[in-house]
Chains A and B, each alone.
Chain A
Amino acid sequence: MNEQTTQLVLDSLGPLLRATVTTTIPLTLISFVLGLALALGVALMRLSSVRVVSSVARIYISLVRGTPLLLQLFIIFYGLPALGVRFDPFPAAVLAFTLNVGGYAAEVIRSAILSVPKGQWEAASTVGMGYVTTLRRVVLPQAARTAIPPLSNTLISLVKDTSLASTIQVTELLRVAQEAAAPTYEFFVLYGVAAIYYWVVCLVLSFTQARLEERQNRYVAT
């Protein structure tokens, strides 16, 4: 690596880090948290005994999983203005990723809820708990144990999927790397730096996942 390239890499470290911290990570976390809330609602709808309700949830999940995420982004950012709905790049990305996580995580949460034995619902009910209390205090805490590994996968995928937002003018990590590389043609090193940043974020998340799983296992025999 010549001196000029080295200097370019050193100069890019700051801006790429800033893009990671101010855009990629917030975009990931906001979308994930909102997406999880949505997913819980969709999962409960999917489990509903009311036909219409569970069908709505089923169709939503099918649409999200059956179309490319990039296309979902494009429809929200480039397509909706035709209907008079206009978003700035960042909110458009948050919306697209939230809807996406909502669909994928809904299936994870639904099966995790179903993995809790029926006897838990019955026992909760015999000590007086209603549906919401049972869900909150008995079923979801146990479902979490089952759901954490697949939900961690969803989160880690999301970190990398946020790079798609570069196509709708969100100045996240990949876009900043592109912009730095374009005038100099130093694609290899700058994309290399970006890759390492993504990787480090995912490493931290994997580590957090391991800690969470350990904590969840405190009440089961090993």
Chain B
Amino acid sequence: MTEPTTPLTTTNSAVLQPGPLVSVSALAKSFGHHEVLRSIDFEVAPGSVTVLIGPSGSGKTTVLRSLNALDVADAGVVRIGEVEVDFAQRPVTKQQVATLRAQSGMVFQSHHLFPHLTVLENVTAGPVLAQRRDRSEVAREALELLRLVGLEEKADAYPYQLSGGQQQRVGIARALAIKPQLMLFDEPTSALDPELVGEVLMVMKNLAAQGWTMVVVTHEIRFAQQVADQVLFMDGGVIVERGTPDEVLTRPRTERARQFLHRILDPLD
């Protein structure tokens, strides 16, 4: 997996796609008898930001985790770039999972930094330990990424010595270090103290401005309004509404979306 962009189609043929970077079709997933996702379809244009919103339990995190097969869908097709996995065709091999996973960088809600490694080692872990790239070259790139997230002076600190917001920014740098085509964010600010949310959103906003393709699960409606190109509102395992931030967030068509937005924007009302 030294080259995440190596063409490796896992189904039929490698067709160069001028269109969307990501396409998801008919994605379905159950945990036991509970249907978490039913027939999810969407596309993500290169360089665009897609924000998934919805009540907890609506399936948005499962959608995100299906994009890198941390959750293996029961059915449906996920394509990122030239890598396509059809989850209905069993078994889904380790090789397929690894190849799909290499296409995206993942930022977790509770960072999952490696506590026994320094900040720099966390960022270089993927390229050095997994991709077997040259250590000094990777370290240079990693310092560049730490500068991007405003933490180059913390390179030698251990994760426990950082604030929650700093830890999350290291998590972003670590994900960027594998040079993915796509960045995934799973509620990156939900576990943070309110005053630390801004610094993380700021970094994400900068990434979006630099042209990164991003899929973000979040409750930060203001972030979605400012940064998203596409907003997907999920409820009960389906995408209930989709469109521009203005369409979905300002003028929602469905009652469910209206109620949800009302609850998070005016919790006391």
Chain B residues, Cβ within 8 Å of A124: 114, 125
A-B contact count (CB 8 A): 70
A129 to B178 alpha-carbon distance, docked (Å): 11
Which A residues lie at the B interface, using CB under 8 A? 117, 119-120, 122-130, 133, 137-138, 141-142, 145, 218-221
Segment at the A interface, from B34-42, B78-86, B102-110, B211-219: B102-110
Does B113 lie at the interface of the complex (its beta carbon under 8 Å from any beta carbon of A)?
A: yes
If the complex has contacts A119-B110, A137-B129, A138-B114, are A126 and B158 also in contact, measured as CB distance less than 8 A? no
B97, closest chain A residue (CB): A125
A119–B112 touching, CB < 8 Å: yes
Does B126 lie at the interface of the complex (its beta carbon under 8 Å from any beta carbon of A)?
A: yes
Interface residues of B in 115-152 (CB under 8 A from A): 115-117, 125-126, 129-131
Chain B residues, Cβ within 8 Å of A122: 70, 106, 108, 112
Secondary structure call for the A interface = helix
Nearest Cβ distance between residue A112 and chain B, in whole angstroms?
13
Does B88 lie at the interface of the complex (its beta carbon under 8 Å from any beta carbon of A)?
A: no
If the complex has contacts A126-B68, A126-B101, are A120 and B112 also in contact, measured as CB distance less than 8 A? yes
Chain B residues, Cβ within 8 Å of A133: 129-130
B171, closest chain A residue (CB): A123
B174–A127 touching, CB < 8 Å: yes
Does B177 lie at the interface of the complex (its beta carbon under 8 Å from any beta carbon of A)?
A: yes
A21 to B131 alpha-carbon distance, docked (Å): 45
A136, closest chain B residue (CB): B129
Nearest Cβ distance between residue A206 and chain B, in whole angstroms?
24
B174, closest chain A residue (CB): A127
A220–B114 touching, CB < 8 Å: no
Does B209 lie at the interface of the complex (its beta carbon under 8 Å from any beta carbon of A)?
A: no
A219–B70 touching, CB < 8 Å: no
If the complex has contacts A122-B70, A220-B160, are A128 and B178 also in contact, measured as CB distance less than 8 A? yes
If the complex has contacts A127-B175, A128-B102, A130-B98, are A142 and B116 also in contact, measured as CB distance less than 8 A? yes
Does B1 lie at the interface of the complex (its beta carbon under 8 Å from any beta carbon of A)?
A: yes
